[in-house]
Each structure stands twice: as C-alpha cells, then as structure tokens.
Amino acid sequence: MVQIKDIVNQLHLDVYSGDDFLNRTVSSSEISRPGLELTGYFNYYPYDRIQLLGMKEITFIEKMTVAEKTIIFKKLCNDDTPCFVVARGLSVPEELVKAANRQEIPIIQSTISTSRLSGMISNFLESQLAERVSIHGVLVEVYGLGVLIQGSSGIGKSETGLELIKKGHRLIADDRVDIYRQDERTVIGESPKILEHLMEIRGVGIIDVMNLFGASAVRNHAHISLVVNLQDWSVDNTFDRLGSGTESIDLAHVPVPKISIPVSTGRNVAAIIEVAAMNFRAKTMGYDATKKFENNLAELIAENSENGKEFDK
C-alpha cells in the first residue's frame, strides 16, 4: 500500500481539496482515465486505481449538465477510490469536489501534461509496490555505477566499501541490500530503513557514514549494474585473467554482469573495483581492451608468419 500523501510529497503535486484525506492508500500502479465512465458505462470501472483527468475528460465534462455531472461523479467516487488527479492545471469541476468531499477522497492538481504525469505516478507506484528481496552484500555507487560487493562473511566487504567512500564514492547499503525489479532489464538496490546510511566495521562498531563523511557520501538507491564477488585467493581457484568471461548473476529475475576478484594480502581491492567499474563502463560504450589485445596478438602472429616465409625464401 502507498499513501496518497507520499505521492504528493515525492512528486511535488498540489492538493486541491481533501488535505485531511491524504492517508488514503492505493495498491495498484495502473492509472485510470475515466472516459467511458463519463458517458455512464460503469461495467468495468477500475474504482481502486488513481483516477486521472486530462484535457479530453475535462472538456467532455464541461459539456455535461449539472444533473449529469452530479450523477456521474457520485458513481466515480467509490469507497475504495484512492484519489482524483487533474492534469495540465485545468479547472476542477465543482460537482467533483462536492462528491469527493462526501466520500473523503482527495483531489490532486498539477500543471504537468497528462501523459507525463501518468508516467510519473505509475513509475513511482511501481517502485514502491514492487516486491522486495533482501540479499547479503554492500552496495556502493562507483563513478555513477551501482556496484554490489558480495563474498563470504569476514572477507572485507564493508572495509572495501569504506575505502571506496573515502575515495569519494557513495554508499547505498551495507550488510543487507533490498532489491526489486524496476523493469525487465533493471534491478534497483536500496537500504532497509533501519540500516540507512549505517555501516558495521569489525573492531569499531556501527558508524554513520552521512554524519562522518557528509551528505555527498550516501545515496538512497541505485541501479545495480555490476556485481563483484570477493573470493579468498587460492591456487585451487581459477580467475579470469583476460576479462573475456561473461559471467552473470540473477537478481530479482534480472541477469546482472558479475566478476570475481581474488582477495589476498597486499591487494588494494578498492582500487581494483574502481578500475573494474571504469572498464565495465568502457565496454558498455563499445571499447573492449580484451578484444584489442586479441587483435594485437593476431596481427603479431600474422606478421611473424610473413617474416618466417621471407626467411625461408
């Protein structure tokens, strides 16, 4: 459930009437534009959705008689109707205000265009109503990319995150990360409210990153672009040395690229993660250092082959 007051506050909308009714809730991210309902057809009226009125609806309403408006708005104002939203700064019909006040339904107004406003509200509701899954790890924003650091307990995830924060990057969540799917290709990570801006450093305890490093050192959420798995270095483990591997991990039913980094004494893991983030961004922009190396190697082999033939002659 999402309260109407949260929508108003987050999207900076104006309350036209019903300030005392903003605690009403909505459980659907879909938006209804009551077109057929204004003609009197209520067989499939989605009463539990936010009702959005734009230019088409308002101009149609203006041609109705007062009696017709009274009847239609009485039917539109269902006990479970979350709220009405009037877009483009259009005037709100007086009959709608009376009917909404009787049912204690708030009316929201905005100067934003109808289509854009519908998208904004729908996207916000989808993010708030999406199913959350908690996973173990540290989520930081490195050069604008959401990097999820995972690994076994005690391997140094929080310490690595702290070092990245000291380098100017930002913390989203430590120890526990709540994730949800925004769409088929995007997974968002955020911190649980109880752990927001906090980190646990063994030997030190709980620290408040925002209090110690400032507001620029934290973020509320981030799109997870890369997963870094920290592993203890061992001769038995094999690691990708050329970067030609295409590993991925499933997060909230979204495949996310994953790399494994060996951890051993003397390795600056934070610096390696910085380089991994920059290299990942370069790949997304079309530049692949591994392919360049392979091309250079192929050219060298071809050149040596030509030199060998000339020597034989």
Active-site residues: which are they? 136, 157, 175, 241
For the beta carbon of residue 3, count every other beta carbon within 10 angstroms.
Answer: 15
Q: Yes or no: say if 282 and 253 are a contact pair by the CB < 8 Å rule.
A: no
State how far the Cα of 109 lies from the Cα of 138, in Å rounded to an integer.
40
Strand partners, 96: none
State how far the Cα of 14 lies from the Cα of 8, in Å rounded to an integer.
7
SS (H, E, C) 273-311: HHHHHHHHHHHHCCCCHHHHHHHHHHHHHHHHHHHHHHH
Residue 17 is labelled as binding a ligand = no
Q: Yes or no: say if 47 and 67 are a contact pair by the CB < 8 Å rule.
A: no
Residue 115 is labelled as binding a ligand = no
Q: Yes or no: say if 90 and 62 are a contact pair by the CB < 8 Å rule.
A: no
Residue 158 is labelled as binding a ligand = yes
Residue 156 is labelled as binding a ligand = yes
Strand partners, 141: 146, 170
State how far the Cα of 58 lies from the Cα of 37, in Å rounded to an integer.
13
For the beta carbon of residue 68, count every other beta carbon within 10 angstroms.
Answer: 15
Place of tokens 């920290």: 230
Query: What DSSP assignment string belongs to 90-102?
Result: PPPPHHHHHHHHH
Angle at the Cα of 138 from the Cα atoms of 155 and 123, rounded to 5 degrees: 160
For 68, the 3-state DSSP assignment is helix
Residue 157 is labelled as binding a ligand = yes
Structure tokens at 36: 């057929």
Residue 146 is labelled as binding a ligand = no
Residue 153 is labelled as binding a ligand = yes
Pick out the residues of the known binding site for ATP: 151-158
Pick out the residues of the known binding site: 151-158, 200
Pick out the residues of the known binding site for Mg(2+): 158, 200
